[in-house]
């Protein structure tokens, strides 16, 4: 069995994956052809594990391409530069990153550093006049999200959050089934995501509150919060939550090892979730008035497997990162505003719920949410 996320996340990429990803992105009015002559030039800011997935996605994207690199580690910068044939003038350290402002070769900065650094680098990229895509969770607090949105607005650039699942066909179907009430009103959602991180080194940034903002709720639970919200098309009005018992006390000194929570929505629907670093779980289930729909696996990089009370769900297994980059790239290239579900306001809404979950778990009290 798989014990460490690197292996969980490993995924075979087939020939033609990029093309099928593009096929799932609807053409926007104003765009003339699926294969545009100019691609958006994206700089990856942070060259960790997930940046590797994004580089794979960029390699097959029809609307974006890898054009720049930002890293605090010169050796990594050199390695990536050679591997992806990036011009040295498009490579930055965090010290000289602000010079990217004068670099016409870069259109977008994709911020993919530890969560606690999202805010500063997003604001610096915005001030440099670049559109920003920031990985989830958008930041470590509502206040940071607000500052990021304000900075992008002031700079006249767009801000997207790396919510890959909005471009994934199984999740697009979940959203349709829920929001269009295909099986009537959804009453109960059970969605959980966890990985068995027994091999996580004690120095990993995910364990440091200042860098991560929190434990698995921040990194995994955000998907559960997201999917609960977009399947229902509603915002939660109340939250209860419980921290799980800590198994690895030596590792989990600053952040939770697991947390379980319950969201209550205006329609009366309830969503219950667990996110954890000490168990493998990856599933989504919705009970609606006249049927159910579910995915398992559900939230990882796929391949997903799903069914409804009416039968199996079968969609192509796509390159999620390419699909997301295509979806966002297409909008930015067309100079159109990003839809709300992928914009900064969406990340902020998730952080509002996440803050309430932490408060509920810490105090043992039901936390009410308004607007």
Is residue 103 a contact point for its own copies (CB under 8 A)?
A: no
Tell me if residue 223 is catalytic. Answer: yes
Task: Using the minimum distance from each CB to its own copies, give the nearer residue, 93 or 247.
Answer: 247
Answer yes or no: are the C-beta atoms of 140 and 118 closer than 8 Å: yes
Pick one of 78, 190, 204, 235: the residue that binds its own copies (CB under 8 A).
190
Query: What ranges make up the beta strands (E) of the chain?
Result: 40-45, 64-70, 91-92, 108-111, 131-134, 159-161, 186-196, 238-243, 258-264, 270-276, 278-288, 291-295, 306-308, 311-313, 367-368
Residue-level length of the chain: 371
Binding to its own copies (CB under 8 A) within 307-336 occurs at 309
Nearest to 313, CA basis, from 292, 327, 299, 290? 292
CB 320 within 8 A of CB 298: no
What are 188's two structure tokens?
A: 């109960």
Q: Which of 278, 319, 320, 324 binds its own copies (CB under 8 A)?
A: 278
Q: Which two tokens stand for residue 279?
A: 């168990």
Q: Is 120 among the residues that bind its own copies (CB under 8 A)?
A: no
The residues in 243-262 that bind its own copies, with binding defined as CB under 8 A, are: 244-245, 247, 258, 260, 262
DSSP 230-281: HHHTS--SEEEEEEPPPS-TTT-SSS-SEEEEEEE-TTS-EEEEEEESEEEE
Residue 310 CB, shortest distance to its own copies, in Å, is: 10
Q: Provide the minimum distance between the beta carbon of 362 and its own copies in the complex, in angstroms, as a whole number.
A: 12
Q: How many residues bind its own copies (CB under 8 A)?
A: 40
Q: Which residues pair with 270 in a beta bridge?
A: 188, 264
* Part in contact with its own copies (CB under 8 A); list of ranges 10-18, 81-89, 220-228, 360-368: 360-368
Q: Should residue 359 be labelled a site residue for its own copies when binding is judged by CB under 8 A?
A: no
Q: Is 10 near its own copies (CB under 8 A)?
A: no
Q: Which of 119, 136, 175, 349 is catalytic?
A: 136
Among residue numbers 126 through 185, which ones bind its own copies (CB under 8 A)?
183
The reply on whether position 73 binds its own copies by CB under 8 A is no
Sign of the Cα torsion 44, 46, 47, 50 reads negative
> Do the Cβ atoms of 183 and 221 come closer than 8 Å?
no
Interface contacts to its own copies, rule CB under 8 A: 1, 183, 187-188, 190, 192, 194, 196, 240, 242, 244-245, 247, 258, 260, 262, 264, 268, 270, 272, 274, 276, 278-281, 283, 285, 287-292, 294, 296, 309, 364-366
Residues marked active site are found at 136, 223
């Amino acid at each position: 069995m798989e014990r460490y996320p690197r292996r969980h996340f490993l995924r075979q990429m087939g020939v033609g994956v990029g093309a099928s990803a593009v096929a799932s992105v609807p053409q926007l009015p104003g765009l003339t052809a699926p294969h545009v002559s100019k691609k958006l030039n994206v700089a990856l800011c942070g060259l960790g594990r997930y940046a590797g997935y994004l580089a794979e996605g960029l390699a097959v994207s029809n609307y974006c391409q890898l054009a720049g690199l930002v890293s605090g580690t010169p050796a990594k910068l050199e390695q990536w530069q050679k591997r992806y044939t990036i011009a040295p003038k498009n490579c930055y350290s965090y010290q000289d990153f602000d010079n990217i402002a004068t670099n016409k070769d870069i259109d977008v900065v994709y911020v993919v550093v530890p969560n606690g650094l999202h805010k500063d680098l997003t604001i610096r990229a915005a001030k440099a006049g670049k559109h920003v895509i920031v990985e989830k969770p958008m930041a470590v607090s509502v206040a940071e999200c607000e500052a990021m949105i304000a900075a992008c607005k002031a700079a006249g650039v767009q801000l997207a959050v790396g919510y890959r699942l909005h471009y994934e066909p199984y999740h697009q179907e979940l959203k349709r089934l829920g929001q269009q009430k295909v099986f009537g009103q959804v009453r109960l959602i059970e969605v959980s995501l966890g990985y068995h991180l027994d091999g996580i080194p004690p120095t990993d940034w995910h364990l440091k509150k200042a860098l991560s903002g929190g434990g698995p709720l921040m990194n995994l639970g955000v998907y559960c919060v997201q999917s609960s919200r977009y399947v229902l098309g509603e915002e939660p009005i109340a939250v209860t939550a419980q921290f799980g018992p800590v198994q690895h006390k030596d590792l989990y000194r600053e952040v939770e090892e697991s947390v379980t929570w319950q969201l209550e929505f205006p329609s009366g629907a309830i969503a219950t979730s667990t996110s954890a670093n000490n168990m493998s779980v990856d599933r989504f289930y919705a009970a609606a008035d006249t049927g159910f729909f579910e995915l398992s696996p559900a939230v990882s990089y796929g391949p997903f497997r799903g069914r409804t009370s009416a039968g199996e769900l079968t969609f192509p297994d796509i390159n999620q990162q390419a699909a997301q980059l295509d979806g966002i790239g297409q909008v930015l290239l067309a100079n159109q505003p990003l839809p709300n579900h992928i914009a900064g306001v969406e990340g902020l809404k998730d952080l509002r719920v996440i803050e309430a979950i932490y408060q509920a778990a810490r105090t043992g009290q039901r936390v009410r949410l308004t607007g």
